[in-house]
Amino acid sequence: MFHKEGYKIISGTILIVAILMLVAKKYVTNEILFYLIAGVCLVFLVLILQFFRNPARNAPDDTSKIVSPVDGKVVVIEEVFEKEYFNEKRLQVSIFMSPINVHVTRYPGAGSVTYSKYHPGKFLVAWHPKSSEENERTTVVVKTKEFGEVLHRQIAGALARRIVNYAEVGQEVTQGSESGFIKFGSRVDVFLPIGTKIDVTLNQKVKGAETIIASV
């Protein structure tokens, strides 16, 4: 299953690969060179297909848990001052996605969307300390039953040039359902109340909608 955000890119890639193969078959007489071109085209197509894959996920639907919004690796667990929405200290958990990860963004918890905003910005590498405040990003806040308001932020990176955000203020959302999509690698930050029990560790690999990152 592929994500809808990839339909046009997948179709375009298949068309380009098909044209390249037809041209190569007609004009490339060296057999080794032809197979080299075919191999590069095949690898490129497979990379595009795997990037836009959208596997089914089984979220716990548990109000006492917060799930990872994306696939990737935990790169930050720290107490920070969140100044866009809360203007107070929060626990930040950041997850970095490589180009080979699933890039669907999912809601960490169920509730009502109270804030959703897009910010244009730079394209610093996603692990840069200032990327959370200076890169292109979207911020979404969901009011949950057990944790109060939980913020998650999609952050563009050096390769990610488009962030898609589906969240609308007033919308009721379920845990693990689709919140958006980031094209070609980046990171997502989650901001939780101070005192929240964190259930992941630095460098741990997580799966969107399934890995529990925090609990009451």
Distance CA 129, CA 121 (A): 14
Shared domain check, 26 and 98: no
Q: Please state the domain count of the chain.
A: 2
Local confidence band at 9 (pLDDT 50, 70, 90 cut-offs) = confident
Given 94, 131, 132, 186, the catalytic residue: 186
What's the predicted TM-score (pTM) here? 0.84
pLDDT tens-place string over residues 148-179: 999 999 988 665 557 889 999 999 999 999 99
Domain carrying residue 27: 4-51
Local confidence band at 52 (pLDDT 50, 70, 90 cut-offs) = confident
Distance CA 116, CA 144 (A): 15
| pLDDT score of 26 | 84
Shared domain check, 70 and 22: no
Local confidence band at 69 (pLDDT 50, 70, 90 cut-offs) = very high
Give 210 or 46, the one with higher predicted confidence: 210
What is the rounded average pLDDT for all residues in the chain? Answer: 88
Local confidence band at 10 (pLDDT 50, 70, 90 cut-offs) = confident
Task: Give me the DSSP letters along 119-178.
Answer: E--B---TTSTTHHHHBSEEEEEEEETTTEEEEEEEEE-SS--EEEE---TT-EE-TTSE
Shared domain check, 173 and 125: yes
Residue 59 placed within a domain: no
Give 200 or 133, the one with higher predicted confidence: 200
Shared domain check, 183 and 159: yes
Shared domain check, 94 and 33: no
Q: Tell me the two tokens of residue 209.
A: 């909608």
116: annotated active-site residue? no
Shared domain check, 143 and 102: yes
